Amino acid sequence: MMGNLPELQEQDPGVKQMEWTDKYGGVVSYRGMIGTRRLLVSDPKALQHVLMNSYNFPKPAGLRAALANILGEGVLTAEGHKHKIQRKMVNPTFNNASVRQFTPVFNRHARALVKAVDELYHNKDHEALSPATDRLQGAFRKRNLGTVIDVLHWTSRTTLDVIGETAFSYDLAALKSGENGTAIAASFNKMMTHVGELTIKERALLHIEQFSFFDGHRPLKTSFNKSAIDTQKTVEDVAGRMIDEQKKAQVVEESDLLSGILACNEDPKVPASQRMSRREVLGQLTTLILAGHETTSTSLTWTLWALATHPEIQTRLRDEIKDFWCDVDDDLLFDEIHELEYLDRVTSETLRLHPPVHSTNREPAKDGYIPLSKPIRQADGTLTDRVLVSKGQPLILSVVVYNRRKDIWGEDAMEFKPDRWLNLPEAVTKSGIPGGHLAFISGPRNCVGSKFALTEFKVILAHLLRRFEFMPLPEDLVDISSKQIIVTRPRVKGLESEGTQMPLLIKPIKEA
C-alpha cells in the first residue's frame, strides 16, 4: 500500500535516496503509494534536460493543487502560458536595482535581531532564547555549558519581518511580539507546526490526494488542508486590503514587491490577455511569504550549525567580515556584500550540502526519452544511456542527492568545505547546472528571487557573526536530525514533540 515511502520517512531527507543512488546510479525506480512507480533522478544531464524543458515536464496536477492550498495561484503553482505571464510580471521586481533598494531593510532587521538576542543574553532569559529546549535547561546548567539559543526560532522571526516589509510594507512584528504577534505570523506558524506533527495516515492522505482520481475533488477535508487554506486566506486578506487601498488612491508607488508587481500588471501598454488576475496577484504574495521567509531562515539556520561545528571556518569568515566592515554603524551595501569571497563560498557550500528544498516533482507531458551523463544498468542487466518515460510518469528530481554525490563532488562530498568552490571537480563544471548546486533549480522555473534571498541571507549572517560566536552543544544532550516540513528543517532527536529547532551555544564576541 505505502510502497517505499515508510523507509524514506524513517530517515533524514536524502539518506535512503543516496543509498539507492550509490547502488543503482543516477535514475532509480522505486514505489510510491499503492505501488506507483516513481523515478528518482540525480543524473546531471537528466536533471538539466527536464529543468531546461520545464514546460514539457510540468509539475503534477495533484502536487500543484496541494501547493495551491498554501501558496495560492502564484508563480510556483502556475504552468504553461499562465506561468510565462506571471514570470514576466514578477521578474522586474527582483532585478538587481530592486534588491539594492531593499538592502537597507535587510540591515535594519538584522540589527533588530542582534539587539533582541543581545538583550535576552544579558538578561539571562534562557526560556525566551530557546523556548523549545526548556526541559533540557537543567542539564545545560548542571554542566555549566553557557547560554543556548534556538537559532531557527529567531532567524524565522527575522525573515518573516523582512518579507512582510519588503513584500507589502506590512509590519508583522514577529521579532517583537513572537510568532503569534499578528494574524499572518500566527497562522503560518500554526500550519508549519501542524505539518511537523502529521501522522503516517495523514501523510498518506497527502500522497493519495495527488492521484488523478481526485481531479476536480480537491482539496479533501483534511486537517492539513484546513490549516493551509486558513493561512493562505489570512495572507490574502491583508494583501487584498493593500491592493484596494493603492487602487483607491490611484497611486502605485514601487516601494515594495507588491507595488512593483502591480505597476507591471497595471501598465497600459500590457494587453488584458497578458495581465494577471486579482487571485494571481494575491498568489504571488502567499508565495513570497513561504519562498521568501521560510527558505532563507532555514538556510541561515543550517549555516550557523555548520559554522558552529567548524569553528575554524567560522573564525575565518568572521575575520573577513570584520576586515571589510569596519564601522558596524554603517550599512552593508548590496554591491559590497557580494564582494566578500569567503562569505560567497560558505554560502554556496551550505546551499550545496543543506538545500532548503530537497527535491522537486515533475512529469512528462508526453512519451519520450531522458538522456543520461552516465549509463545505468536496467532490470534485465543491460546498460542504457537514456531512460524511456511515459506521459504522466512521476519524476522526483533530487536536489540533495545530486548535491552530495561523491562521483560528482568527490569523496569528501559529505563534508563542509567552502574552499572546494575554488577548484570544483570537472564533473561539476561540465554538468551544465548554473552555479554548480541546484538549490535554486535551473531553467525557466528557476528561483525568481534568488538574488533577493542571497543578499538578505548574507546581510543577516554578517550581522550575527560580527556580534556573536556560535558553538555546538554536546551530542549526548542535543543530537540534530532533519525533517522535511515543506523545507528541510532541523530538530532534536528525543524532542520531536517540541517541533523543529536548532539549539546552539551563543556568546557575544567581546566575551569570547
**Grid cell at residue 102:** 531593499
Residue 302 CA to residue 324 CA, distance in Å, equals 24
DSSP string, 146-191: -EEEEHHHHHHHHHHHHHHHHHHS----HHHH-TTSSHHHHHHHHH
Nearest CA to 359 out of 439, 415, 295, 290 is that of 439
**Grid cell at residue 357:** 528544498
Residue 24 CA to residue 28 CA, distance in Å, equals 6
At 43 the three-state DSSP class reads: coil
Residue 404 CA to residue 415 CA, distance in Å, equals 9
Catalogue the E-assigned strands of 235-318.
Answer: none
At 137 the three-state DSSP class reads: helix
CA 180 to chain centroid: 22
Query: Measured on CA atoms in the order 127, 130, 134, 138, is the torsion positive or negative?
Result: negative
447 is annotated as contributing to ligand binding: yes
Residue 264 CA to residue 278 CA, distance in Å, equals 13
Residue 405 CA to residue 403 CA, distance in Å, equals 6
Nearest CA to 361 out of 81, 147, 64 is that of 64
How is residue 14 annotated by DSSP? T
Please list the alpha-helical segments (H only) found in 359-494. Answer: 399-404, 406-409, 426-429, 450-467
Q: Which residues contact 197 (CB under 8 A, 6 or more apart)?
A: 499
Backbone angles phi, psi at 499, to 5 degrees: 90, -175
Nearest CA to 356 out of 313, 310, 299 is that of 299
Taking each continuous run of H as one helix and of E as one strand, the counts in the chain are 23, 11
Residue 61 CA to residue 68 CA, distance in Å, equals 10
Q: Which residues contact 195 (CB under 8 A, 6 or more apart)?
A: 224, 485, 486
User: Which residues pair with residue 441 across a beta bridge?
Assistant: none
Query: Which amino acid makes up residue 103?
Result: T
**Grid cell at residue 283:** 498568489
- Known binding positions for heme: 447
- Known binding positions: 447
